[in-house]
Amino acid sequence: MYDHRRLGRELGLFDTDPLMGAGLPYWLPDGAVVRHQLEEYVRELESAAGYRHVYSPVLGKRELYEISGHWSHYSDDMFPPMQLGAEEVVLRPSLCPHHALIYRSRSHSYRELPLRIAEVGGMYRSELSGVLGGLTRVRAIQLNDAHIFCTLDQAVEEARAALALIARAYADLGIRASRYRLSLPGDGVSGGGGKYVADPALWSRATAMLREVLDASGVAYEAAEGEAAFYGPKIDVQIEDAAGREATLSTVQIDFHQPERFDLHYIGPDGAKHRPVMVHRSVIGSVERAVAHLVEEHGGAFPAWLAPVQLVVLPVSEAQEQHAYDLAERARAQGLRAEVAVEGNLGARIRAARLVPYQAVIGEREADADLVAVRLRDGRRVDPLSPADLLHRVAARVGARGAELWADG
């Protein structure tokens, strides 16, 4: 059983400091590599699916969150406002109000819809100290978020496609969903001032659409009351750690509330204004929680495309060190993350590099023949290869973003 808090520190991925504060981890170089690769992967996946990426500020006026409903339904989880002259600004607890304003910044025709806006952006939650832990519960969150503005007729298909995108990402990351949950409101929908927006018709309509999405996707799911967002029901994709603790990693939501609150519209084929539907979806949720789960799921042995170091070169003796440095330089020139390990005896260096996907050992015989002996992380050994052939094969496997470490030919 792996604990990402312990293993993450042992592997030099992240750490904390009391002067920075509880729930505010910082990323070390190897952890920053994993985070960067994960974020770039999501951006590429989204771009291929027709999303357009934006950047929005992590601050907003209090009035923004009053309009969105966060202030009345979610303020206990928000940091207190900061006074700036006559204005109050707040660290945002969510990206959706900002994306609503981006949509509202200009008029839209029905021909532009669905409009898919995505961002990997910061947000902040005022978590109590007692629930903070490692990367799974933090106060500063980097969220993979997106909002699809579409017609009512497009909403179910857009939500279904978002769920398929999540499944694709899980396959590439080598993780799996433990279950799918349809998160519904608890008490307080019919009356005002409760935890949830008081609009029973809204909830009923959105819930029916999400059930249709789940049924069309062919996944088994369970309904859970009291787990919805304040503005609507959602599909939660649940993950489970080795200890059996469950958490939500990915979500898909259909929202009628915020388009109404922000007075969003598009021009229909009849030339009149119509209200869009807002589909919220997050493929990997918070980057912090995603990395924590990846650490525990793989025990630090990340898929090769995600590994902080993809190739370690091990000269047997000092005489082969220049060959090793030359190979590492060629690997880096091809976009691979490569290092040379020279400290300690060969056995100790091999053990220290046990989580690196590829090990290239260069002894006297290999150096004389311009070859490298290849060891794979799973214990397999490959017949000696030329440096060019090794780099070609490693680059091909890394580029494939699969779990398999090696392929002949």
122-151 pLDDT, tens per residue? Answer: 999 998 877 788 898 899 999 999 999 999
The residues near 240 (Cβ < 8 Å, ≥ 6 apart) are 178, 246, 247
- Confidence band, pLDDT 50/70/90 cuts, at residue 1: confident
18-31 pLDDT, tens per residue? Answer: 999 999 999 999 99
Question: Helix or strand or coil: residue 173?
Answer: helix
82-125 pLDDT, tens per residue? Answer: 999 999 999 999 999 999 999 999 999 999 999 999 999 999 99
Nearest one of 102, 97, 95, 206 to 159, comparing CA atoms:
206
Full-model pTM? 0.92
Give residue 283's pLDDT: 96
Give residue 269's pLDDT: 97
The residues near 25 (Cβ < 8 Å, ≥ 6 apart) are 14, 15, 16, 134, 135, 138, 288
- R_g of the chain, CA atoms, integer Å: 24
Mean per-residue pLDDT for 78-84?
Answer: 93
| Cβ burial, residue 178 (10 Å; 0-12/13-18/19+) | middle
Percent above pLDDT 90 for the chain: 83
In this structure, of 75-79, 223-227, 228-232, 403-407, the range with the lowest mean pLDDT score is 403-407
402 or 85: whose pLDDT is higher? 85
What average pLDDT does the chain have?
A: 92
Cβ atoms of 237 and 178 closer than 8 Å = no
Nearest one of 73, 110, 116, 70 to 93, comparing CA atoms:
70
Is pLDDT at 222 greater than 70 in this prediction?
Answer: yes
Give residue 223's pLDDT: 94
Cα 92 to Cα 145: distance, rounded to the nearest angstrom: 13
Cβ atoms of 122 and 78 closer than 8 Å = no
Give residue 104's pLDDT: 97
Region class of 34: left (phi > 0), else alpha (psi between -120 and 50), else beta: alpha
291-309 pLDDT, tens per residue? Answer: 999 999 999 999 999 999 9
The kind and range of the H/E element at 98 are: helix 96-104
Is pLDDT at 170 greater than 80 in this prediction?
Answer: yes
Nearest one of 103, 202, 83, 205 to 150, comparing CA atoms:
103
Structure tokens at 110: 């029905």
Cβ atoms of 27 and 60 closer than 8 Å = no
Give residue 229's pLDDT: 87
Cβ atoms of 34 and 302 closer than 8 Å = yes
2-14 pLDDT, tens per residue? Answer: 889 899 999 999 9
- Confidence band, pLDDT 50/70/90 cuts, at residue 249: very high
Cα 290 to Cα 224: distance, rounded to the nearest angstrom: 23
Is pLDDT at 202 greater than 90 in this prediction?
Answer: no
Structure tokens at 232: 């609507």
One-character DSSP codes across 176-226: --SEEEEEE--S-SSSSSSSS-S-HHHHHHHHHHHHHHHHHHT--EEEEET
Give residue 132's pLDDT: 83
Is pLDDT at 193 greater than 50 in this prediction?
Answer: no
- State residue 262 phi and psi, 5-degree precision: -95, 5
- Confidence band, pLDDT 50/70/90 cuts, at residue 196: confident
Give residue 406's pLDDT: 81
The residues near 253 (Cβ < 8 Å, ≥ 6 apart) are 206, 210, 229, 232, 233, 234, 235, 279, 280, 281
Mean per-residue pLDDT for 49-55?
Answer: 97
Give residue 191's pLDDT: 40
The residues near 5 (Cβ < 8 Å, ≥ 6 apart) are 133, 134, 135
Length of the chain: 409
Is pLDDT at 319 greater than 60 in this prediction?
Answer: yes
Give residue 192's pLDDT: 42
Give residue 190's pLDDT: 45
Cα 75–chain centre separation: 25
